[in-house]
Amino acid sequence: MLSEEYKKMNVFGIDYGTSDFKYGPISIGEVPEVVENRGYLIDGNSLMAKIMGVGREIVVGKDLPLYLEAREDLAERLIYPMRNGIIEKNDRKAWLIIRELTKYALESFAPSDEEFKGFYVVASLAVIAPRYMYEELFKIFGELNIERMLVRAATIIPQPLAVAIAHKTPTCVVVESGHGNTQVCPISMYPIRNAVIALNRGGSSANILTAEILKDCGYGDLAKEEGLVRKVKEQIGLLPRKLDEAIEYAKKNIDKVRVEVKIPGTRIKIDLGEQSWTRFLIGEYVFNPNHEIFNSYFKRGMPRPSDVKIGDTYFYGMTDLAESIIESVEKCSVELQPHLYSKIILSGGNFNWRTSPTLEGIAVTSDRKLELMMKEKGVENVKVTVTRDPTYSVWRGCIVYGYAVPYDFKWRWEKMEGWVNYA
């Protein structure tokens, strides 16, 4: 039987985000490897695939862009397996891609020496992920261990809980906002599942608005490139303290908000010019899409964030972030509520907004924005913090959890904790 020491040396974290797939062993340090959570289906019958010796049916990982064909083929062959953190039970193509990504991640770090007997894998899923997703992942880990000794044992934890673990905060509200959705999850040792609020709004919503802004500024062709739009959003997006005040300031001080974006490896340069005030719309849209200024985009055809049901979970489209937290907390006991408001943790790349000294008091960080919104709604004594490197906090929590859980602690479905062993 392997020892606790072996387990601690071979903890491997995997964060299955809707957009980004983050992975790596404990030895990698503070930052995991990141690839997009997607796969490209190769046409194995094509002549060029045979001539080029492409023997794979599914391509994932960092080499995927090398295999992309014409734009018209992308919709059919380029597959993003998750929608709002959920994979449909019978979506076999999606599960094949998840399997290939998992294999890709583990093989990237698996040593070839005889002493290696498999990783202790800690995977994270959205807190609203149904049980069948846990069952399917455990099945995948088992299959990979049969093909090659990659997984000694595995466990799965909700993403908000991973954040709380990384911060060693047993009582808090974790707001995890990634590409596809936003999860508001009160935690008191365990997630309070009947108080979870899910929003159908995340980084992808900000991408859609950024694309509309680019169209208005004469960059219609570039707005069709999803990856490019995301890069532009990350470089130009600003989060206003007060949107109306920020717009007024920006229109009077264009030189202080104007920025030129250069796309590495290309000749592309983007300059919003007199429309640079729209930079503030991008951040505001994530926190509150109800401002009247967004109606003009909705009227022109930009999709309004809608309420949707996926599986057994309702995702709210237009509810602002502060109202979502209040609704979530008020589902908990009155005695617990003040403790939850005093420790709100923001995690995920969607909270990684930039500020600059020249825009002090105009552009703010996510924690300051949310504190202001909460106080405007009458919630006092609120304390909000953004995780250090919010993009990676879930993965770090996976590593901490795997290190702490004893190697002989067996999985229990009633608590959904412990290790499923494969040897």
Q: Span 110-114, mean pLDDT?
A: 87
pLDDT at residue 43 in the model? 61
In a domain, 296, yes or no: yes
- Specify the CATH number for the domain of residue 131: 3.30.420.40
Residues 154 and 94 in one domain: yes
* Angstrom distance (rounded) from CA 398 to CA 94: 23
pLDDT at residue 66 in the model? 66
Q: What confidence tier does 315 reach under pLDDT thresholds 50, 70, 90?
A: confident
Query: Tens digits of per-residue pLDDT, 21-71?
Result: 999 999 998 899 999 888 877 765 554 444 434 446 788 888 777 666 544
Domain encompassing residue 338 = 198-312+314-386
Q: Percent of the chain at pLDDT above 90? A: 59
Query: Tens digits of per-residue pLDDT, 4-24?
Result: 999 999 999 999 988 889 999
Neighbours of 368 (CB within 10 A): 15
In a domain, 225, yes or no: yes
Residues 362 and 409 in one domain: no
What's this model's pTM, rounded to 2 decimal places? 0.86
Split into its structural domains, the chain has a count of: 3
Nearest CA-CA partner of 133 in 416, 418, 366:
416
Residues 366 and 229 in one domain: yes
